[in-house]
Structure 1
Amino acid sequence: MSRFALFLATTATIVVTGPAAAQSMQGMNMPGMTMPAKQPAAKAKPSAKSKRAPAHRATPAKRSTAPMDGMKGMDHSAMPGMQLPPSGQQPAQGAPQPMQGMDHSAMPGMSMPAGQQGHDMNGMSGMNGMAMPGMAQTGTALPAGDAPAPAPPMDHYADRMFAPAEMAKARSDMMFEQGGQPFHQVMFNLAEYQARQGRDGYRWDGEAWFGGDINRLWLKSEGEGAFREGIESAEVQALYSRAVGPYFNLQGGVRQDLGPSPKRTYATVGFEGLAPYMFEVEGALFLSTKGDLLGRLEGYYDQRITQRLVLQPRVEFNLAAQDVRENGIGRGLTDAELGLRLRYEIRRQFAPYVGVSYLAQTGRTADFTRAQGKDPTTTSFVAGVRVWF
């Protein structure tokens, strides 16, 4: 019976004292702090109806200087660097409150700049210059140094994982497949019948090339003639072309004249390419074996009206540095041609067209033509086909 009575007494004691022990945590003493005794209940404030300040004597509310409720009675004297007023004394009006006059210089790991001990915790202005242990310095806080810059990245990152020789061969094969292999094209920009006053004729202007994106071999030919009278003028050029930019090629080679007029051979240098706003332009200088210097400049523009209908204005100028009487050429601008052709692209490679062409000789060239009893100006209605493959 004595053991049973002792068990009942122990159980009753635990049940009664358990809630009280849980509530006593509010005032428990922790190392370095002393919790206050139970505060007396606050007195009830008089109601607004019983005491109301006159409107003309109202004053703004003062900022509370009382310490935080959770910090009441806490003994901060045991914390290093804490400076509090003596026990039983309240801080004076306007005096720094607890946690505001804390001296962080005495806290472990805190390094405060001179003159900033006792900084204001509310503004945190004293945090500038604080050095925290274990915190890495980055950005502009890094100290000045003369360490060398890191090595630049490699152009071909795959060379780090694979043999450089094999990767070089793979890149060469890729470049060849994506434009390095040779191509070719044959195109007749003009192949037409000309209906003109006096006698009808024909005209051609074509070119062919073979090569890659940089180096090419070009063959060019152009001429005109009259039916039942044969070829009036014709020429063939063999040129080497080298790309000098994304849109232009520099060309050089030889030109050979054909036809009934005196046959001459010329050294040729010129250019061909795509000018801004999609103008196809071509220019060349010709120096003959006799010392004659000639020049040519031509261009055209393809204006799409629909996906198949294209209007092409064309202009060509020929020049000479001196008179070449045996060829009927005078010094200066020898002739100018203006043309307008409208083509319909049945396929991109095959497009019939119709149009009009106006040719006018000028200066001494026109005088040589009149001396032969011919008209120096010619207007032709043309019909032909533009083809390439």
Structure 2
Amino acid sequence: MRLIVAMLLAGTAAPAFAQDHSGHAMPAAPSPAQSECEKEAARHRAMGHPVSEGACAPATQPGEPVSADRHDGHSDMDHSQMDHGQMEAMDHSAMDHQAMDHGAMDHAGMQSSGQAPMDHQAMDHGAMDHGTVDMTPIPLGPPPASAGSGPPSAADAIWGAEAMRASREALRAENGGMKTFWFQGDRAEYRAREGGDGYLWDVQGYYGGDLDKVWFKSEGEGTFGESPEAAEIQGLWSHAIGPWWDLQAGVRQDLTGPERTHAVIGVQGLAPYMFEVDAAAFLSTKGDLTARVEAELDQRITQRLILQPRAEVNLAAQDIPELGVGAGLDSVELGLRLRYEFAREFAPYIGVEQESKVGQSADYARAAGEDPSLTNYVLGIRFWF
């Protein structure tokens, strides 16, 4: 009987256990959005960013009933669009950037989470400690006096004088001691003038080193269809007496007229203001003393177009009637040539030159039926190799 009464009581109490608990404060299961927030918080902690404990707390408070509408709205939230840069718990000014492992930072994950990427261009790399890099400026000025205080042949103490002798000879030969050959046709021209067109050549060259050279020079002129009016050849030894000047001495042989051989001494080089000067005195086997001074200046209009004024003066210490030379100033030549260098070694030119005999030399020219003053219109080539 008691058993039957207990079963009846249990059957009447069953509906009470099936009542609606939706209004009770039941603990809610973690939502997908909350789990995503916790993953982001864990990532920031791994990077060294402080994150508050309540950053990912659920929207409902303990004891607050959770409705179906609230869960539905919470599940529709897009946490990837959340601005985590506005999290109050992040204090970027306190970040220890030196302890951060930038290689392990997930910059792609930070950008996908909505956080602004780091601006590495704005970082002060100048304040970084580069360690072994020496930023000391290189001093300007001459080397200290102690730089040249050592012995001139210090290597002899290590390798021996015999072993270093061959090296020094090779150094002198390869750096200034080598022999070179140079040849230049300074003037090779056709001359149009009154009384018959003519020609002129003026060539020179040398072979040798920086200090000592053997020079060769030749010049002459004439009228087409006639014998050359003047022709000579010189063989000279040249020695450098300074950075810009060579002292020259040798022999000159005349090839026309009364043949004469001359001893030659002179200087050749570069005068101030870039004048190229060739001056020489000649003493012939007949005792005649003469001199010649030539000067020319290259004025560059462009890198290839060059205007060259030129002057030549001939002098004599005495009258030489057989050569038509008077004492003192014998003759003056003034010319102006314009050349174009297709290559540095090859340059055609045009120009004009005035020849004038002076003093007694002019009288000798008139007596021979010659004009003491001539104007030449020239067309020529200047070359060297």
TM-score by length of 2: 0.60
Whether 1:352 aligns to 2:352 is no
Whether 1:339 aligns to 2:368 is no
Partner of 2:170: 173
Structure (1 or 2) with the greater helix fraction: 2
CA distance in 2, matches of 1:183, 1:153: 34
Partner of 1:212: 209
Partner of 2:246: 249
User: What is the CA distance between 1:169 and its match in structure 2?
Assistant: 2.3
The number of residue pairs the alignment matches comes to 238
**Aligned to 2:318, what secondary structure does the other structure show?**
coil
Whether 1:234 aligns to 2:231 is yes
CA distance in 2, matches of 1:301, 1:168: 44
Whether 1:365 aligns to 2:361 is yes
**Aligned to 2:175, what secondary structure does the other structure show?**
helix
**Aligned to 1:366, what secondary structure does the other structure show?**
helix
CA distance in 2, matches of 1:347, 1:244: 32
CA distance in 1, matches of 2:335, 2:153: 52
Partner of 1:183: 180
CA distance in 2, matches of 1:244, 1:166: 33
CA distance in 2, matches of 1:186, 1:167: 36
Q: Which of 160, 181, 189 is the aligned partner of 1:163?
A: 160
Whether 1:384 aligns to 2:380 is yes
Partner of 1:278: 274
User: What is the CA distance between 1:230 and its match in structure 2?
Assistant: 2.2
Partner of 1:306: 302
**Aligned to 2:220, what secondary structure does the other structure show?**
strand
User: What is the CA distance between 1:181 and its match in structure 2?
Assistant: 1.4
User: What is the CA distance between 1:161 and its match in structure 2?
Assistant: 3.3
**Aligned to 1:179, what secondary structure does the other structure show?**
coil
**Aligned to 2:361, what secondary structure does the other structure show?**
helix
Whether 1:324 aligns to 2:320 is yes
Q: Which of 186, 191, 194 is the aligned partner of 1:194?
A: 191
CA distance in 2, matches of 1:268, 1:152: 45
Partner of 1:115: none
Whether 1:221 aligns to 2:190 is no
> In the TM superposition, what whole-angstrom CA distance separates every residue of 1:54-103 from its partner, at most 9, and x where no partner exists?
xxxxxxxxxxxxxxxxxxxxxxxxxxxxxxxxxxxxxxxxxxxxxxxxxx
User: What is the CA distance between 1:304 and its match in structure 2?
Assistant: 1.1
CA distance in 2, matches of 1:356, 1:166: 61
CA distance in 1, matches of 2:173, 2:236: 24
* Structure 1 pair 156–277 and aligned structure 2 pair: CA distance change class (3 A): farther
> In the TM superposition, what whole-angstrom CA distance separates every residue of 1:139-186 from its partner, at most 9, and x where no partner exists?
xxxxxxxxxxxx952124433433233233212211211221111111
- Percent identical among aligned pairs is 53
CA distance in 1, matches of 2:241, 2:332: 29
Deviating beyond 4 angstroms after TM superposition, the runs of 4 or more aligned structure 1 residues are: none
Q: Which of 251, 262, 265 is the aligned partner of 1:269?
A: 265
**Aligned to 1:161, what secondary structure does the other structure show?**
helix
Matches within 5 A, 1:43-192: 152-192=149-189
Q: Which of 280, 283, 293 is the aligned partner of 1:287?
A: 283
User: What is the CA distance between 1:223 and its match in structure 2?
Assistant: 0.7
Structure 2 residue runs without a partner (length 5+): 1-147
CA distance in 1, matches of 2:176, 2:255: 36
User: What is the CA distance between 1:251 and its match in structure 2?
Assistant: 0.7
**Aligned to 2:159, what secondary structure does the other structure show?**
coil
**Aligned to 2:162, what secondary structure does the other structure show?**
helix
User: What is the CA distance between 1:354 and its match in structure 2?
Assistant: 0.4
CA distance in 2, matches of 1:297, 1:166: 50
Structure 1 residue runs without a partner (length 5+): 1-150
> In the TM superposition, what whole-angstrom CA distance separates every residue of 1:270-292 from its partner, at most 9, and x where no partner exists?
11111122211011110111100
Superposed CA RMSD: 1.4
CA distance in 2, matches of 1:170, 1:305: 46
Answer with 309-318 or 158-167: which moved more.
Answer: 158-167
